[in-house]
Amino acid sequence: MKPGTLLAQAALSAFAAQGARAAETEPSFCCDALESAGFGEIIHYPGGDAYEARQQAYWSPLARLQPGCIIQPGRAEEVSTIVKTLVLANKTQPCQFAVRSGGHTTYGGAANIDGGVTLDLGFMNSTTYFANNQTAAIQPGARWGSVFRTLDNAGVASAGGRAASVGVAGLVLGGGNSFYSARKGLVCDNVANFEVVLANGEVVFANRETNADLFQVLKGGSNNFGIVTRIDLQTFDRENVWGGIVGYPISTAGLHSKALVNFGEKLADDPYASTIMILLYHSARGFPFIANAYEYTKPVERPPIFDEFMAIPGNFSSTMRITNMTDITEELEQPVGFRWKFMALTFQNDERIIKKATELFHKMIESIGDADEWYFSPMFQPMPASFAKHSAANGGNILGLDRFTENNILFLYDVGWMSEENDELFHKLSEQYVEDLDSYAKSIGKSNLFVYLDYADPTQDPLSTYGHANIQKMRAAAAKYDPDRVFQTMVPGGFKLSKVRVPEDEEQHDEL
């Protein structure tokens, strides 16, 4: 596909005029190196249909940066050659690249790059179930909807994402919260084996027996150690689930706060249950409401753990039903087209903090008014101490959640808006919201320092919250598996180990 090279040359002259950018990274040089390595067929350039289609397939418009080219490998061996080619080319000219799977990260630059190369794993999206060892071999660019379709058809289930369009690798490498967390731990705790392309191009396995240190750091350490090209996930026999979304007037917020806290305290006793409490405002509707997602991973209607929620009066809609996981994940999508911002916060399971978050929710609605079309859906997810208990049995993850003995709530700040001119306004008010909520939690002694990477914003530093010992483990693994620092210097996107702001004193850090 040589016409691409012409475009690359056009880009080169454009870049030659822009000295500062060209000095950082030279897209046509790096893309040409990949062309010379024989990848012409799978390289796409700006202006081409394939390039534009892949850009549109980023979930948030804020993630659609302008790489010099996008390369779409189909096999681990190709990923390996691509990495070797770029590392070699980088000795002549800087060749930075991004690694993309589903592309669901909200902010720009986690899985895309301006001017460099985007290594897009979107075509590596198959799921193969093996009955002999009850695992599913899932390629990194698969979406959870397609994973569950395959598993439902095979009569099995696994822990996994809760919205159909979300990518597999990004979610697993950040941890992964699922409907099965109380029963099975995080999604990453269900990995039997990773296939990984290392910085030197070697394709290795990481599991409990082989490269066990790499296995552990991949479970939460994101893109700092290699490129994951296959995830073997443990499965178990499937059952239909009782689940859906129930809409309530905002006047019931107080009852919901109470019910959610009580639910979080009881979850360890009935680990089949899961709830996301969602405050929701869409300016096009014009009024705030509550839209809770309830799921029970057995075909049982209204099990007792949901009694308090079921007694809350006045719901105006309900999709509660017994169905399969494929169907449930299709229901839990958020609308596309908005410029999304996610932020993560953790606090203890305390009603007062949910009330404070609801007050701040109303304040935000007043501040923004109808300045734009926007969609605001902060979410509260119980994260009791029991979630961390399943980790050690499978080689451990690196998130450090086992440090916490309290039952917590994982809070997802979630807002989307339409107009680019409002970017600054939404960033500013959102960061203020999260800071105010965190300060409140601290003021009553109920904050938790953990920042969940899969929900974190670039103003946050999730890896630094995993605890001193885990940061040291990640550093040791990076030094061992990527001694030349390819994933630190050449893959700038996402949360980088080399940028972790390490607290001087571990103890002080842990009680922050």
Ligand X SMILES: *[C@@H]1O[C@H](CO)[C@@H](O)[C@H](O)[C@H]1NC(C)=O
Ligand Y SMILES: Cc1cc2nc3c(=O)[nH]c(=O)nc-3n(C[C@H](O)[C@H](O)[C@H](O)COP(=O)(O)OP(=O)(O)OC[C@H]3O[C@@H](n4cnc5c(N)ncnc54)[C@H](O)[C@@H]3O)c2cc1C
SS3 393: helix
Q: Report the partner that residue 310 touches, choosing among ligand X, ligand Y, none (CB closer than 5 to 8 A by kind).
A: ligand X
Q: Which is nearer to ligand Y, 22 or 136 (CB)?
A: 136
- For 143, other C-beta atoms within 10 Å of its C-beta total 22
Compute the half-sphere exposure of residue 292: CA atoms within 13 Å on the CB side of its CA: 26
Alpha helices by DSSP H, listed for 295-382, are 307-310, 325-331, 351-368
Distance of closest approach, residue 240 Cβ to ligand X, in angstroms: 9
Beta bridge partners of 244: 294
Q: Pick the binder of ligand X from 60, 146, 181, 394 (CB under 6 A).
A: 146
Q: What residues numbered 322-341 form the site for ligand X, per CB under 6 A?
A: 323-324, 326-327
- Determine the Cα angle at 402 with ends 398 and 407, to 5°: 130
- CA neighbor of 193 nearest in space, from 171, 166, 172: 172
> CB of 326: closest distance to ligand X in angstroms?
5
153 interacts with ligand X by CB under 6 A: yes
Is 484 among the residues that bind ligand X (CB under 6 A)? yes
Nearest Cα neighbor of 180 from 272, 302, 267, 245 is 272
Shortest Å distance, C-beta 397 to ligand Y: 13
CA distance 191 to 159: 9
Q: In whole angstroms, give the CA distance from residue 306 to residue 325.
A: 19
| Smallest separation (angstroms) from ligand Y to the CB of 504 | 27
| Contacting residue, 200, 315, 319, 422, with ligand X by CB under 6 A | 315
Smallest distance from the beta carbon of 198 to ligand X, in angstroms? 12
Q: Which of 345, 361, 181, 350 is nearest to 260 (CA)?
A: 350
Reduced to 3 states, what is the DSSP secondary structure of residue 219? coil
Measured in degrees and rounded to the nearest 5, phi and psi for residue 159 equal -65, 145
Looking at beta carbons only, is 129 or 387 nearer to ligand X? 129
Residues making contact with ligand Y (CB under 6 A): 59, 99-105, 110-111, 121, 140, 161-163, 166-167, 169-171, 173-174, 176-177, 222-223, 227-228, 334, 454, 493-494
Interface residue with ligand X among 192, 273, 345, 478 (CB under 6 A) is 192
The pair of structure tokens assigned to 423 is 């970017």
* Shortest distance, position 171 Cβ to ligand Y, whole Å: 3
Which residues contact residue 158 at a Cβ distance below 8 angstroms, ignoring those fewer than 6 apart? 136, 147, 151, 180, 190, 233, 234, 235, 236
- HSE of 66 in the Cβ direction (CA atoms, 13 Å)? 9
Stretch that binds ligand X, among 123-131, 181-189, 210-218, 258-266 (CB under 6 A): 123-131
* Contact by Cβ (8 Å): 426, 60: no
Query: Residue 173: which of ligand X, ligand Y, none does it interact with, CB under 5 to 8 A by kind?
Result: ligand Y
> Which residue of 62, 69, 486, 491 would you call a contact of ligand X, by CB under 6 A?
486
Binding-site partner at residue 323 among ligand Y, ligand X, none, CB < 5 to 8 Å by type: ligand X
Kindly tell me which of 31 and 412 has the beta carbon lying closer to ligand Y.
412
> Between 81 and 100, how does the x/- string for binding to ligand X read (CB under 6 A)?
------x--x---x------
Q: Is 359 in the site for ligand X (CB under 6 A)?
A: no
Shortest distance (Å) from residue 178 CB to ligand X: 18
Which spans of this chain sit near ligand X (rule: CB under 6 A)? 87, 90, 94, 123, 125, 130, 132-133, 135, 146, 149, 152-153, 192-193, 232, 246, 310, 315, 318, 320, 323-324, 326-327, 484-486, 489-490
